[in-house]
Each structure stands twice: as structure tokens, then as C-alpha cells.
Amino acid sequence: MQQIVTTLFESDRGDTLPELLCEECLRALPVSGVGLALMTDEGHQGVVAATNGPARLLEELQYTLGEGPCLDASREGRPVLQPDLAQTGPGRWPIFGPAMHDAGVAAIFVIPLQVGAIRLGVLSLYRDTSGSLDREQLADALAFADAAAIVLLHLQDQVEPGEGLHPQLVDASGSQAEIHQSTGFIAVQAAVGLTEALLILRARAFSENRPIVDVARDVLARKLKFHSGDDPRG
């Protein structure tokens, strides 16, 4: 793990530390995509970095749907290791599961990033072929997860208390703020509670196959309005 951290901090490439970590993880392990997301007790807080289109799509989809292995791993505080998604029961991720299949993902391994009881995020590894990680590969994946936690803490340690998140983490936080704001707009427009307003927002994003933050921005820009009686199921 220390070697991974040293490599990241000594890199002279222009990518952010989270982006570098995902890329190094992709090179080191037999996986086809890597994603890093922020998580709290309230759930998914946004994607920090991802290595390719499918990885980012699936990270953002879990953010949109509020279901998936990232949320399970963070909530349960233990890795979610699915070497063959075809064998996953249909009831576990009823919407996200088929989406993974459509994206060509056959296996996923998600490791929670925690310091004691404090949730920081998750590191997600995607494969386009089924099969388990062997003992050495899993140990490497856990080392990258430890390094990811150090990266998140290192970045935030550079920010004064009360000043928010480090700039390399702002994209994730900014997206979450826009979603919270748009949820408030929808709650007023549709005369519903905040929980139902978020369901309406998620349903619209899923039905239009768009990232939830894009739909949220349309709401904030007054390009999209909702009304009393709108069905959160779309």
C-alpha cells in the first residue's frame, strides 16, 4: 500500500490523485474499469473518478438509483464481491443489475473505504468477464482501497476546517448540492415531501437515461418543472 501511495504522490502527471489511483489500479489488476465514489451515512455522495465510460456510467447510475453494490458495501461496512453477476438473484439490484448486464459487466468487486465507523467512500472494480480475484489479486485490491482512503484524507487535510471539500473532490460535492437544491424545487412544485421529490427526480433521470445531476440542473434552470400528482415511478 505504501508503494502505491508513494507512486501517486511522486507522479508528475496532470491528473488528480483520485484519477491517478484509479488508473494505477486498472493497470495492476485484471479488471476492465475502476471507480471511486464518496459515501456518507446518507448514501452515495457522487463520483470522484472513474477510468472509462462504463465505469463512470455505472457509478453515476448507482447515484441516480440509490441502489447497487457501492451502497451495499458502504452500508454494511464490508466488501461486496460478485464474481459472476449472472448468478446474482434478481431481487438484489432489480434495476441496477440489468443495467450492469447491458453495459457488459460480468463481475464487480466493491471495497468500502472507512476510518473506524466513519464512511469515506468506495472503490469499485468492474470486469467484463466473470471470475473471482485470486488471493493475491484481492490483497492488491484491498491495498488500493487503503491507498484510496489515504488519498481522500490527505486531500481533505489540506483544507481548513469549515472551508468545504478539497478542489479535487468538489465535483462530487457540487453535484450532490445541485441534487439537494433541485429536490427542494420539486417538493414545492409537486407538493410532496423531500423523499418523494428525490424519487421523482431519480425516476425522471432513469427514464431518460441521463445522469441525475443533468436532470437536476434542468430543474434549477427552470427548463423542467413537475406538478402535483406526478408519479415517482415515472
This prediction has a pTM of: 0.76
Helix axes 212-220, 53-65, angle to 10 degrees: 60
Residue 61 near residue 96, CB atoms below 8 Å: yes
Reduced to 3 states (helix: H, G, I; strand: E, B; else coil), residue 181 is helix
State the DSSP H helix or E strand holding residue 94, giving kind and residue range, or none if neither: none
Reduced to 3 states (helix: H, G, I; strand: E, B; else coil), residue 184 is helix
Residue 119 amino acid letter: R
Tens digits of residue pLDDT in 220-234: 999 999 887 665 444
d(CA 232, CA 229): 9
d(CA 160, CA 25): 30
Tens digits of residue pLDDT in 70-95: 999 999 999 999 999 988 877 888 88
pLDDT, position 163: 67
Sign of the CA dihedral running 45, 21, 73, 153 = negative
